[in-house]
Structure 1
Amino acid sequence: MFYLIAARSLNGVIGNDGGMPWGRTMPIDLRNVKELTTGHPVLMGRKTYDSIGRALPNRRNIILSREKDLVIPDCEVMTFEEAMNISFDKPAFVFGGEQIYRLFAPYLSRAYITVIEHEFEGDTYLPDLPGEWEEVSRKHHAKDDKNAYDCTFYIYEKVK
């Protein structure tokens, strides 16, 4: 079972020049990601891994790459096809970036999307999810002294 997890701006931007356009100004989103994904496998592309700069603790970190000899400390490196053949004992979170989201889109059953309520310049976007999705949860958080922007946490489930 694969779940998408992503943060995007109002205009759909998820990245700019190898990082999140809002930088580290949204610790509430980082905390949400940690709470949801700890103890679960996380799958991400090499560029997303590079933007994070380290393996995420207490998670099985799987980096997707076509580069056969790539070695990344504390991570498993494999192709998309190899990852699809793993039998996960818990839902695996698809962590991005844009190309990885596109590859996994047909196989997703749930999506956790944080919308940062601001428009940003960017070069990477969250793709539209194929099929029909139902919003099952929404929680708003107003900006405060620690978080620079309003945001809303959404959970969607794919309609079968």
Structure 2
Amino acid sequence: MDKPPPSAQAAPIPLVVVAAVARNGALGRNNALPWRAPGDLRRFRDITWGRPLIMGRKTYQSIGGPLPGRETVVLTRDPNFLAGARPAHVHLASDFDAALGLAADLARAMGAEEVILAGGAEIYRLGLPRARLLRLTHVDCAPEADVYFPEIDWRQWRETRRERPPRGAEDEFALEFVDYQRV
């Protein structure tokens, strides 16, 4: 596991949750998105480019590898995950605090102003209490799923931006991009 260098003196880097969530809270089914939404994937790329991402092992595996233009911190309990074959720009952490510290140090080194929490459900559950911003794509569907976004106490959040882009030709459902700031 990568060990983050001490960063006790550094200013905290804001944690931002980025997720696509269906009306019923669904995030995924069988380690995949239960919808097709290229418009959301473009938004994800735009939000996360040049920033460190924290994600769980299953999310990393479902993506298929590191995303270009980003550093990826994979949270896993498996010390042998990617042993001997770890791609460049992929870092491992064995607990959430280590992942946060490593991602914050990466953000400083990259000149990024925030760390992105990119899933899955357990990673969102661990990070939501520390997040400063939610950047959600609301997907207008309610599919069967086996992974759901954690419950949110909406009294702790205020909406700061909402966009209803035209439905793309390849988007299976209408999308709404909404940002929320912790109050």
TM bin, normalised by shorter chain, reads: over 0.9
* 1:10 matches 2:26: no
Q: Which amino acid aligns with 1:149?
A: F
- Structure with higher strand content: 1
Unaligned runs of 5+ in 2: 1-13
- Structure with higher helix content: 2
Which residue is 1:119 aligned to? 142
Which residue is 1:73 aligned to? 87
CA root-mean-square deviation? 1.4
Provide the identity percentage.
31
* Shift >4 Å, 4+ stretches: none
Deviation per CA, 1:3-57: give whole Å up to 9, x if none: 00000111110010111100xx211100000011000001100000111001010
CA distance in 2, matches of 1:105, 1:145: 33
Q: Which amino acid aligns with 2:92?
A: V
Following superposition of structure 1 onto structure 2, how do residues 1-160 of structure 1 map, counting pairs within 5 Å?
1-22=14-35, 25-71=36-82, 72-74=86-88, 75-79=90-94, 80-86=96-102, 87=104, 88-89=107-108, 90-130=113-153, 132-159=156-183
Asked whether the equivalents of residues 142 and 149 of structure 1 are also in contact (C-alpha less than 8 Å), the reply is no
Tell me which moved more, 60-69 or 26-35. 60-69
Aligned pairs, number: 157
Asked whether the equivalents of residues 50 and 70 of structure 2 are also in contact (C-alpha less than 8 Å), the reply is yes
CA distance in 2, matches of 1:148, 1:112: 20
- Give the drift of 1:118: 1.0
CA distance in 1, matches of 2:181, 2:167: 27
Unaligned runs of 5+ in 1: none
